[in-house]
Structure 1
Amino acid sequence: TFLRRQLPPEDYDAIRAYEPCVVVSHAEKHACKYVVLSDQLIYLADNPPKSIRRVVALRDVVAIDLVDDYPEFLSSSDREINQHIRIIYSSTGLKKKCGKSRAVRKFLFPFHRSNASNQNVKEEHDGPIFWRDKEPSSLSESSFTSDLFCFLVNKLHEYLPEARDKHALHNKSQRADELVACIEIIQTLGLMFRETEIESSRLNTLAAKKGTLFKLLVILISKPQIPKPCPVLDIHVVADSPSAEMSYDAELQKLILEYTDKATALLYEILLVFQQGNLGLESTTFAISWMMSFLQNCPPIITFVAGIVKQVVKGLSASFQLLSPCQAVLLYQQFYILKSCLQYSKTLAEYIRNDYSEEFRYFIHIPALKKRLPLHYPITQPTTQLFHEVLKLVEQKQYVKC
């Protein structure tokens, strides 16, 4: 009600989440506030609500770093359940609101839940410190339910990696329709993970449905089966062919490519959830290393990782055209998955280093990236930073476990 009164309708509709936090900055000393996140802005509101002000425009965010540390100012038990996210941003865009211009400032967000009302908090990083109270936001409590998660994954399993209906094994038109449905389901799952702002609900869902999660992971890394004969053809050439049979082949190949991109995006979202849960949450402990341990033992993962490397090579060397925004986001997601494989899986790290050293030497390099990524894209700088991290891990000879 407070947000509806204080904000214009278009700004209120863009609100995604809010959290009670303790804020420490030059202006605030252990102040109880609400951090409000919208599609474009981060706000600070009084607690209890009296006023609200803009703090950061998301377009001004320069980098977002996950800080894997234990805050000394929290008790030992709270250190285990807190996670810091540092947001570095330029205050130029909101200089009238923030009081500074042409400056780069930092926020430190310890994100996991913590009862912080009586904690002794100190100022760090010359910017406000937020950490969440134990009560979750009510905006997204029902947006991700276990029942819906299981239903969608089970529906995927009906068609992937192969259809249960044996008739579809020979019916290219039917298989194309099934792949279209699967792409829509995967997009829905991706939105559910991304739009569910309260991380604990996602972790709780995955914790309660481990079997369903395992099933989903195997589906995502497995290439969909399609009717034979359906050779790998040049889509642009085949699309102009008068042959209906070849037209279906081309459509299926195009759908396979689209499915692979959507599966990559969803796997990226799941990796983020595991990364956010790396320090534990109440009685549930999720670690990205545990997830990678499962994946490295799944036979399809080698083909999946190989496909990602080949897609990256193609994206950086196929032409000198600039990447579209969607292609740039996909490239970031691909790098993130490769980094996770290199950092948390000895088997996959050795595979990437041994089998694709030439690709990283001659095709996947910074000059190629700079030619394809426009400087004005907000994702360009994070992608470049992530690219450097991937290259550094590829050059390492020893497996690093975090």
Structure 2
Amino acid sequence: MARTGTGTLLCRRNIKLDSFLKRNTERAVYERIRAYEPCVVISETINKVYMHVVLSDECVYLTEYPPRTLTAAFSFRRVRDIELVNDLPDFLHGKDRELCQHIRITYLTDKPAPKSRDWLRRDKRVGLPPAAPPSRRNSHCPRITHTFEGYPAHRNQSENATEEVHLLPPTRSASWPDQESLGLLRVPHPPSRPSSTASSVYSGSSSPSSPTSPSSPSDHRLNITETGQVPRRIGSVLSRLLRRNGVNNRETREAELHLYAVSHTSRLYLHLQSSWNSYIIRSTLLLDPLYRRRCSISPHSSPDKLLPSISLERTAHLFGQLSAELLQEEISVESLYLLLQELRTAAHRNVALRRLFWRSSEVCVFLVETLEESLHGCQSLSGVYTADQLLLSTLIVQTLAVMFRETEIEPARQILLSAKKGALASRMLLALICDPELQTENQVSLTDCELQVLLAEYLDAACSLLFEMLLLGQEASRCSPADSFLSVGWILRVLQPHPHLLPFIDYQAQHVVLVLSDLQESFLSPVQSVLLFQRCRLLLACLQYNSQLAQHLRSNFREEFRYSVKLSGADEKLPPHYPISQPTLRLVELIRTLHK
């Protein structure tokens, strides 16, 4: 419900709905509800009913207006696309019709299509509206008797909807709701590994110092015997068979849910996109054993089963102690590194701590200042990087990236980053960009090779943090003019004067080409897949929001994306059970199109 840790909301609070959700959901679910908003709902079983849409980290729920029961509409695990449809719905009138946001969500379902709903059959030309180009604002929705000029919807229409929709039965009590009937859908855990010979299947091992650093390709090959590896041709066949059989060998089909947000200030689409992005990244990373251990999740448990959570008061107390130690004067580099490791690990496990981080501006400012000094201050004196600089800088950037995750609804984050015309955000952006070429004074040595590995880990972490800031910028771009602070265009303009921006962007583009070319034949690990997704989003932002960067990429990488990057190759390297695979393939296709 767009909550912060103290219970305040970004949108106007609906006390009755909030109380209903608190009574009828578990505490862990209630605390991770991101937003709720009223809108008109159309699905295979709901015909234009005014309802509340409730978003959690893993699922989208529907409840009546006023709320009586809670129904799980779909899990983000099954979402295939979330898009805005540019049309004018006939069942709305006046300004509501002009300002309405039509959101179409395509997802997979196991349920057979209803046969008794002839009004939804497309062959009778009264179906749901397809996506239309911006120049066409036509509505394909049928006109109905009851309009929505005076919300909520007409009473008898809501009563009919109650009979059509599979709603939850009454819970046993307000304090102990029936968990199964609430339909709380869980993230699937990784496939089990029955024998030691297959122990490296999608293992995704990575460096302990970097949650997003890729491992060597040899660590992620699909082993079939102790001495041999599956050839790429056989791997391709396996990949196609997995896709043909579908997830868990169950027959699924695509279904659509249409949401019409009737408020001209609606942020429902942004919340849906943000929740979906967070879900596919988190659930893909949770397939990596190292990441699961970092989040305190047992290899044999569901990914959402964390260690027992501590209270907000206890979290605040511990964060205060850790902050005081970090901010003490003349702290040694060793102590700083250990404290930052502790902070990063705690942030992985506790979303409340991430919210507290943004409310305590001193820690964020301290990290940005330390990054500036560590990566650029010392490096500018000698012209070379040191291992200590790169290790500390990587840890700082990883910590900042973790703090961005699942904190979109925290008002303190927006306030801190946009204060003084985005001064802190500008410093953070300029501090994380560095020269991707290792400058050395001597000939190439073993030490230089180790530094190159450390520099690669930093560049991976920097891409992840820049990706998080671009997500923030996309929300700002939709809610305010393009020139406003923190929009995607503003972020790229801040970075444009940086002397190392073009080499940094080239480095990220080269790794996208390398990963998707024939030179790398293995499956991508969960960590590598997430990093590929983040790099693709970065390149797409450059192509769409900055003409100079777009021209640079087209001039330098048009041939590579035309001939070396192929969707068939990308499809073979992204395992079908990764939640991030399909969204990544769509990004690759769009980037190839924009490079033409």
Q: Common fold, TM-score beyond 0.5? A: yes
Which residue matches 1:327? Answer: 528
Corresponding position: 1:154 with 2:353:
no
Corresponding position: 1:274 with 2:493:
no
Q: How far did 1:161 drift?
A: 2.9
- Return closer, same or farther for 1:259/1:86 CA change in 2, 3 Å cut-off: farther
Which residue matches 2:54? Answer: 35
Corresponding position: 1:391 with 2:592:
yes
Q: How far did 1:141 drift?
A: 6.3
**Aligned counterpart for 1:191 among listed residues 402, 407, 412:** 402
Q: How far did 1:184 drift?
A: 2.1
Which residue matches 2:37? Answer: 21
Q: How far did 1:371 drift?
A: 2.8
2:371–2:432 Cα contact (<8 Å) kept: no
Distance 1:190 1:375 in 2: 26
SS class of match (2:542): helix
Which residue matches 2:566? Answer: 365
Amino acid at match of 2:489: S
Amino acid at match of 1:12: V
**Aligned counterpart for 1:345 among listed residues 535, 546, 554:** 546
Amino acid at match of 1:16: R
Amino acid at match of 1:194: R
Distance 2:557 2:269 in 1: 42
- Return closer, same or farther for 1:302/1:110 CA change in 2, 3 Å cut-off: farther
Amino acid at match of 2:461: K
SS class of match (1:272): helix
Amino acid at match of 2:459: T
- Return closer, same or farther for 1:307/1:141 CA change in 2, 3 Å cut-off: closer
- Return closer, same or farther for 1:199/1:341 CA change in 2, 3 Å cut-off: farther
- Return closer, same or farther for 1:8/1:309 CA change in 2, 3 Å cut-off: same
Distance 1:304 1:326 in 2: 20
**Aligned counterpart for 2:457 among listed residues 254, 258, 261:** 258
What is the percentage of aligned positions where both structures have the same residue?
A: 31
Deviates more, 1:147-156 or 1:284-293: 284-293
Distance 2:50 2:548 in 1: 47
1:55–1:94 Cα contact (<8 Å) kept: no
Which residue matches 2:253? Answer: 102
- Return closer, same or farther for 1:131/1:259 CA change in 2, 3 Å cut-off: closer
**Aligned counterpart for 2:512 among listed residues 312, 321, 324:** 312
Q: How far did 1:368 drift?
A: 2.5
Q: How far does the alpha carbon of each residue in 1:65-85 deviate from its partner, in whole angstroms, 9 at most, with x for none?
A: 3x39698869879989x9776
**Aligned counterpart for 2:72 among listed residues 51, 54, 70:** 54
Counterparts of residues 282-293 of structure 1 (less than 5 Å): 286-293=486-493
**Aligned counterpart for 2:265 among listed residues 95, 114, 123:** 114
SS class of match (1:279): helix
- Return closer, same or farther for 1:375/1:43 CA change in 2, 3 Å cut-off: same
1:36–1:45 Cα contact (<8 Å) kept: no
Which residue matches 1:237? Answer: none
Distance 2:59 2:443 in 1: 48
Q: How far did 1:30 drift?
A: 6.1
Distance 1:363 1:306 in 2: 16
- Return closer, same or farther for 1:170/1:214 CA change in 2, 3 Å cut-off: closer
- Return closer, same or farther for 1:377/1:386 CA change in 2, 3 Å cut-off: same
Which residue matches 2:145? Answer: none
What is the number of residues matched between the two proteins? 356
Q: How far did 1:17 drift?
A: 3.1
Which residue matches 1:120? Answer: none
1:32–1:47 Cα contact (<8 Å) kept: yes
- Return closer, same or farther for 1:232/1:94 CA change in 2, 3 Å cut-off: farther
Larger radius of gyration: 2
Amino acid at match of 1:270: M
Distance 1:270 1:337 in 2: 10
Distance 1:131 1:255 in 2: 35
Counterparts of residues 87-236 of structure 1 (less than 5 Å): 87-92=105-110, 102-108=253-259, 114=265, 142=356, 144-145=358-359, 146-163=361-378, 175-198=386-409, 201-209=412-420, 210-223=422-435, 228-229=440-441
Which residue matches 2:291? Answer: none
- Return closer, same or farther for 1:313/1:224 CA change in 2, 3 Å cut-off: closer
1:60–1:93 Cα contact (<8 Å) kept: no
Q: How far did 1:328 drift?
A: 1.2
Distance 1:368 1:278 in 2: 33
Which residue matches 1:356? Answer: 557
Which residue matches 2:29? Answer: 12
Q: How far did 1:262 drift?
A: 1.0
Distance 1:287 1:347 in 2: 17
Q: How far does the alpha carbon of each residue in 1:6-63 deviate from its partner, in whole angstroms, 9 at most, with x for none?
A: 3456x538x533323113114476645361312x322335677654332211110112
Amino acid at match of 2:454: L
- Return closer, same or farther for 1:131/1:320 CA change in 2, 3 Å cut-off: closer
Distance 1:189 1:79 in 2: 40
- Return closer, same or farther for 1:20/1:94 CA change in 2, 3 Å cut-off: farther
Distance 1:308 1:364 in 2: 14
Amino acid at match of 1:36: L
SS class of match (1:342): helix
SS class of match (2:477): coil
Amino acid at match of 1:149: C
Corresponding position: 1:303 with 2:474:
no
| Unpaired runs of at least 5, structure 1 | 117-128, 133-138, 234-245, 396-402
Distance 1:351 1:177 in 2: 33
SS class of match (2:521): coil
1:23–1:29 Cα contact (<8 Å) kept: no
1:278–1:285 Cα contact (<8 Å) kept: no
The alignment's TM-score, normalised by the length of structure 2, stands at 0.51
Distance 1:198 1:111 in 2: 21
1:68–1:84 Cα contact (<8 Å) kept: yes
1:64–1:87 Cα contact (<8 Å) kept: yes
2:39–2:262 Cα contact (<8 Å) kept: no
- Return closer, same or farther for 1:16/1:5 CA change in 2, 3 Å cut-off: same
Q: How far did 1:149 drift?
A: 3.0
Q: How far did 1:226 drift?
A: 6.8
- Return closer, same or farther for 1:8/1:333 CA change in 2, 3 Å cut-off: same
